[in-house]
Chain A
Amino acid sequence: MIQFNDVGKTYRSITGRTVRAVDGFTLDIPRGEVFGIAGPNGAGKSTLIGMLLGFLHPSRGTVRLSGLVPRSYIERNGIGYLSELITMNKRWRLDTALVRYAILADIPRERVPESVERVIATLGLDEHRRKSVKALSKGNLQRLGLAQALLRDEELLILDEPTHGLDPVWTQRFRDIVNGLRDPGRTIIIASHNLDELQRLADRVAIIDHGRLQRVVGTGSMDSQATGALTYRISLASGVEEFTRVFPGAVSLGRGELEVVVAGLDELNAKLRELIIAGAVVAAVVPTRSALEQQFREAVGEPS
């Protein structure tokens, strides 16, 4: 569906100074995948998405959507796109903004009201429908941005920082929406700083830094495991005295909660088994950071 082939992007200022935003980026994203893009600030995520939409041309290499250059694909098919910055005419009213985008999305005229009402209901925007864009809160503006991206059943959705500004209820609602959009014929790209969100939603996540693809991580339970040590918080209902014997290096956090460092899942499970056989009752085992976060920190060179 999406092919980046040795893509590079260099910005040149008027004074001749150059900044290499993306360098040697090669990646294939098949149809039907929910794919995450993660990276620190300035890693090149926005440039990559700009090239994916044809808003920027690569300095070298090629970007293809279903074999077409991005603008050709979008001009023929359209895509659902939520940009990081929600920018539209501030005088537009929420409902008429959606009508405009529905027309531009080539939704037949007789189906425009139905499509607009559907996304207004899905995104809970009914009480704000007569407000102007400038009167919307950050969260409602984000929901409007998402609503215009969902007006039509697109084969490709690109969501850049989709939960930015959303409250916890709407963050969870957004996850439900994305999960509902999963389809073998639909590709969803999510760029986010929120690694927990990518871990929950994406099938694979590309970690980029300094414009380069550092690694692609599967978020399934096995292949998402980082290569380094893992840290867990273990809560016990009883048997704290057994714990320090099984996990000699454990750090007590109080209230029956302890933090342990293990080499991997095998070691963790073996020691938990030993602990339970010894009579301890385990109430919870929670990784202090997700496996994706662990991978991210390793990939971008930060201490884990």
Chain B
Amino acid sequence: MKRSQITAYLPWQLWDFAVDRGIAILFTGGLMGMSIVLPGHMVLTEHQQLSPEALTLELFKAVVAQTVSIFVVIAASGIVANDRVSGSYRFLFSKPVRQPVYYALQFAITLLGVLIAGLILLSIFWVLVGWASPVVPLIMITVSYLALGGPIFFFSTFTRFDWALLVVLWGGSAIARTVFSDSSWYQVAQWILPPVHHIDKLRGALFADTPVDVGGVVWLIGYGMLFFLAGLVMLERKAIAE
């Protein structure tokens, strides 16, 4: 796939993301945001003496903590699987297009799309609730996308249940860490299971403005990118219709 093809096709991929996923993310984000902000505002103003700035920040933290991962899963799921299931790969890949390059671009465009969707939702928050720095949510979207999107991308190359497998993998990891953290087997398994806890640690450090565990972030992103690369290898070696 030549650079001219890539640059000319990128706007169309971004447009497809906006129509197919962006609207869903905005809709979900709007509903979730309201369901967090409205009761949160009532509880915090009733029981705690917070300044308006502190109140906004507390609500902002709650919204970011509860929505980012969901946006990322909505955005990244089905990147390959949707084409495989619908059969729309047939026309796409009768053109002089390499499948790994096409889907790597789609993966990158999806990150750009979810960042733009995040900014739109942030601007709604700014108008309705108050100002909060966009830096933390944009970093969290990027890191979460790379960490969670990588495994979804990999699963998407062979099953339509990519998001469900991710939920099992990350949910299983979180449960194992909570329940079996003292077990000897978990001391080994923790190096294989996704480092779920580093997402919360990173968000906490960024909001508290304390030093970030760089090694943990690298592990988190590296874990996701290993799956992403495995997905590209799958696309290169495995026939798409099989």
Q: A residues within 8 Å of B by Cβ?
A: 50, 53-57, 71, 74-81, 83, 85, 87-89, 91, 96, 99-101, 103-106, 108-109, 112, 145, 148-149, 158
Cβ 8 A contact of A105, one of B12, B95, B241: B95
Q: Indicate the size class of the contact surface on chain B.
A: 20 to 34
Query: In this complex, what residue of B is CB-closest to A112?
Result: B8
Evaluate whether A87 and B94 lie within 8 angstroms (CB atoms) in the complex, with A54-B239, A104-B5 already known: no
Determine whether the beta carbon of B98 is less than 8 Å from that of A75.
yes
Query: How long is the Cα–Cα vector from A13 to B6 in the complex, in angstroms?
Result: 37
A-chain residues with CB within 8 Å of residue B20 when the two chains form the complex: 89, 91
Cβ 8 A contact of B87, one of A83, A105, A108: A83
A-chain residues with CB within 8 Å of residue B92 when the two chains form the complex: 104
The 9 closest A-B pairs by CB, nearest first: A81-B94, A87-B87, A78-B96, A104-B95, A55-B241, A83-B90, A103-B8, A57-B239, A105-B95
Evaluate whether A74 and B91 lie within 8 angstroms (CB atoms) in the complex, with A50-B241, A56-B239, A56-B241 already known: no
A-chain residues with CB within 8 Å of residue B90 when the two chains form the complex: 53, 55, 81, 83, 85, 87
A-chain residues with CB within 8 Å of residue B12 when the two chains form the complex: 96, 99-100, 103
B-chain residues with CB within 8 Å of residue A54 when the two chains form the complex: 93, 239
A–B Cβ pairs within 8 angstroms, 19 of them: A50-B239, A53-B90, A55-B89, A55-B93, A55-B239, A87-B87, A87-B90, A87-B91, A88-B88, A88-B91, A103-B5, A104-B92, A105-B96, A106-B2, A106-B4, A106-B5, A109-B8, A145-B91, A149-B94
Query: How long is the Cα–Cα vector from A53 to B91 in the complex, in angstroms?
Result: 10
Query: How long is the Cα–Cα vector from A78 to B5 in the complex, in angstroms?
Result: 13
Query: In this complex, what residue of B is CB-closest to A77?
Result: B96
Contact flags (1/0) for B83-122 with A, using CB distance below 8 Å?
0001111111111111100000000000000000000000
Q: Which parts of B1-57 form the interface with A (CB within 8 Å)? A: 1-2, 4-5, 8-9, 12, 16, 19-20
Nearest-neighbour CB distance to chain A for B19, whole angstroms, equals 6
Determine whether the beta carbon of A148 is less than 8 Å from that of B91.
yes
Nearest-neighbour CB distance to chain A for B101, whole angstroms, equals 9
Determine whether the beta carbon of A79 is less than 8 Å from that of B94.
yes
Query: How long is the Cα–Cα vector from A62 to B97 in the complex, in angstroms?
Result: 22
Determine whether the beta carbon of B95 is less than 8 Å from that of A106.
yes
Answer whether residue B242 sits at the interface, using C-beta atoms and an 8 A cutoff.
Answer: yes
Determine whether the beta carbon of A81 is less than 8 Å from that of B97.
no
B-chain residues with CB within 8 Å of residue A74 when the two chains form the complex: 93-96
Evaluate whether A89 and B91 lie within 8 angstroms (CB atoms) in the complex, with A56-B241, A104-B5, A105-B96 already known: no
Nearest-neighbour CB distance to chain A for B106, whole angstroms, equals 13
B-chain residues with CB within 8 Å of residue A89 when the two chains form the complex: 16, 20, 88
B-chain residues with CB within 8 Å of residue A53 when the two chains form the complex: 90, 93-94
Determine whether the beta carbon of A87 is less than 8 Å from that of B9.
no
B-chain residues with CB within 8 Å of residue A88 when the two chains form the complex: 88, 91
